[in-house]
Amino acid sequence: MSTQAEGIRLQGLEKSFSTPQGVVRAVDGIDVAVAPGETVALLGPNGAGKTTTIDMLLGLLPPDGGAVSLFGKPPADAIAAGGVGAMLQMGSLLPYLSVRELLTMMAALYPSPMDVDEVIEIVGLGDIVGRMTHRLSGGQTQRVRFAIALVSNPDLLVLDEPTVAMDVEGRHAFWTTMRGFAAGGKTVIFATHYLDEADDYADRAVLMARGKIVADGPTTEIKAMVGGRRIRATLPEADLAALEQLPGVLSAERRGEAIVLRCSDSDQAIRALLAAHADVRDIEITGAGLEEAFLELTTAPAEAAA
């Protein structure tokens, strides 16, 4: 479909809130394009502007500036066409209905919903379908909310911090289900502050801090951006000052017989290291955790300002 091909576009999106402490620019001019079928993580610490961005993406909050387009349509039109399923960050379920009744009701609101039994099966709600929605645990409630997002059979699935109330096991099961869903060619945008979730389950991460996008790319690229790779090797007689002069190397230190090079470009650094020291052995190149990348990218400007 040609409209499908346009994917999701956020252009120059801006939103400010008045608070007792003054005006806060919650979202400060962001541009994001998501291709159909892509799974993108909106990553950032609390207060980065992720939820505000998602509210504008879904048309729940009018932007101060900029535009949102979902498959070539304004959010309200895409939603009216039944093309969007979402699991918002906050919220609980409509009380006085059983899980199955609630899913049946929600399915009836969409033009081409998924089969309710199929959704129950996929999300693994078999043991709680007959239970009243106001008697569920936090994790069960989250699973039912996920089922509500899926039952619409959407082209775009939006998840805002979906695993917050889940335990480790529930979280794993959740992402496995989400992956299965996304594999059917669906577009998925999810907000998270768990780095491993972005790393493991997204094709791409958009890193937000203080309302701005500080990085946008494959998670491997984000790690590389902050000099995330380290080379460790055995090189007993090395001159640390000389090693630091090698291209792509940021710093060098000694650990007994071994050296550790923190690199901005480990590809360049390893070539230079091998050229200079043919006797180097036990080479290991490791990527720094996304955690490290995350901290560096989101806190650096604040420290500079302080």
Partner 1 sequence: MNPTYLRFELLRVVRARRFFIFSIAFPLILYYMIAGPNRSENDFGGSGISAPLYLMAGLTAFGTMNTVLSTGARIASERAVGWNRQLRLTPLSTKQYFRTKVLTAYLMAAITIVLLYGAGMSLGVRLSADNWARMTVLILIGLIPFAGLGIFMGHMLSTDSIGPAMGGTTAFLSLLGGVWFPITSSSALHDLAEALPSYWLVQASHVALGGRGWDGTGWLVVAAWAVAMALLAARAYQRDTARP
**Shortest spacing between CB 286 and partner 1, in angstroms:** 41
Candidates 25-33, 96-104, 120-128, 175-183 — which segment interacts with partner 1 by CB under 8 A?
96-104
Spell out a b/e string for 261-287, using b for 16 or more CB atoms within 10 Å of the CB, else e.
Answer: bbbbbbeebbebbeeebeebeeeeeee
d(CA 185, CA 156): 10
96: contact with partner 1 by CB under 8 A = yes
Q: Figure out which of the listed residues 5, 65, 92, 117 binds partner 1, where binding follows CB under 8 A.
A: 92
11: contact with partner 1 by CB under 8 A = no
111: contact with partner 1 by CB under 8 A = yes
CB atoms within 10 A of CB 130: 10
60 with 76: CB under 8 angstroms?
no
Q: Figure out which of the listed residues 14, 16, 29, 61 binds partner 1, where binding follows CB under 8 A.
A: 61
Cβ nearer to partner 1, comparing 29 with 82 = 82
d(CA 90, CA 160): 9
152: contact with partner 1 by CB under 8 A = yes
117: contact with partner 1 by CB under 8 A = no
Candidates 63-71, 90-98, 119-127, 241-249 — which segment interacts with partner 1 by CB under 8 A?
90-98
Which residues would be at the binding site for partner 1 (CB under 8 A)? 51, 55, 58-61, 79-82, 84-86, 88, 90-97, 101-102, 104-106, 108-111, 148, 152
